[in-house]
Amino acid sequence: MNSGRLVFSQVMDFLPKYEYNKCVNRYGGNYRVRTLSCYDQFLCMAFAQLTYRESLRDAVTCLQALAPKLFHAGIRGNITRSTLADANEKRDWRIYADFAQVLIVQARKLYANEDFGIELENTAYALDASTIDLCLSMFPWANFRKAKGAVKLHALLDLRGNIPVFIHISDGKLHDVNVLDILIPEPGSIYVMDRGYVDFKRLYALHYASAFFVTRAKSNLKYQRKGSRHVNKTTGLLFDQDVVLTGFYSRQDYPITIRRIVYRDLDTAQKYCYLTNNFVLPALTIAHLYKARWQVELFFKWIKQHLRIKKFYGTSENAVKTQIWIAVCSYVLIAIMKKRLGIEQSLYTILQILSVSLFEKSPILQVFLKNDDDKNRGDDRNQLELFNF
């Protein structure tokens, strides 16, 4: 790459521009647009995400201060707060939702062979949801409670590489389990969920679609044991049973045999009861799979801490969804860049470095190699020698 190019421009080289334009044209994003194109809008919002801008005014002020460099960063339009706010308000958020799926497909190919600590031929997903609180007076469309607003972010995370393959944004009232009605099951894949997703009618639909599930049983589960397998109790396993459900509704919703595994964590001594329709995998693998579900919790925690999805730049539903989807695009884009360039630092470290070096003129790899050199270079000199010549 040319050493005279801005780091920001080099990062955006990893965007498939042709696919982005297809998403824009699909929803008429640039129809009658004169000053700020959809691509300019994306670049401005991505800049705000990568540099931790707290507000739209904050982002625009910084961009205007960098005005002589914006052309070289790929931003062609005139950047003002009102223009960017109007773009977030009016341009269809589905442009960025569709583009996020394009980036996700690319990222999954790069991380297809990533190791996540469990030897498994199947694709394993972790499903969960996280609530983002909003002020109801400012976001009246985000119904949640009587005096509180919220949106809910539902995510299906590929455990190989922690790439979100499915994201759905709903109002806070939508129960987590309802997202199973929207999800299209992938035959042969394993869906790991907490007990908030225990709905036996929906779980049976997953089984009927030739997909597997792993979830935790509720404490009031009614069942009858049909058979048992031998377990090694030194590993923490207590039971591995084939059972049928005996509850009035559960036996109608799930009329076939289900596998029940009871496991005691060796570190915390806490007992867990798992339910699955996979009768082939070892019981200990099932227990470890559920433990790996914690990655989706870490994903939500990570994007809330390191991307701007808790403070929003606009108050309309379209502006909020636009900001969330561009945040997802930024996360996946950095994951793609990390893999293609072979960068060893974590995503957190990469974002920290980019936040202070986006408008430097330096080869992008040199930015990260320099950081590694600085970190690894020890200073053995005694502090008392500071003024010795």
The DSSP call for residue 217 is: P
pTM over 0.75: yes
Average pLDDT, the chain: 90
Residue keyed to tokens 């999954």: 108
Give me 37's structure tokens: 């194109």
The DSSP call for residue 239 is: E
**Residues 150-188: pLDDT tens digits?**
999 999 999 998 899 999 999 888 899 999 999 999 999
CB-based contacts of 315: which residues, under 8 Å, 6+ apart? Answer: 138, 139
Query: How far is 298 from 296, CA to CA, in rounded Å?
Result: 5
pLDDT given for residue 3 in this prediction = 53
pLDDT given for residue 372 in this prediction = 60
Query: How far is 246 from 229, CA to CA, in rounded Å?
Result: 21
Residue count (the chain): 389
Angle at 213 between CA 210 and CA 218, to 5 degrees: 140
**Residues 53-70: pLDDT tens digits?**
989 999 999 999 998 898
| 267-292 average pLDDT score | 94
Query: How far is 228 from 279, CA to CA, in rounded Å?
Result: 12
| 280-287 average pLDDT score | 95
Dihedral of CA 208/209/212/214: which sign? Answer: negative
Domains of the chain, by residue range, sit at: 7-95+315-374, 195-292
pLDDT over threshold 80, residue 83: yes
Q: Tell me the CATH number of domain 195-292, given options 1.10.287, 3.30.70, 3.30.1370, 2.60.40.
A: 3.30.1370
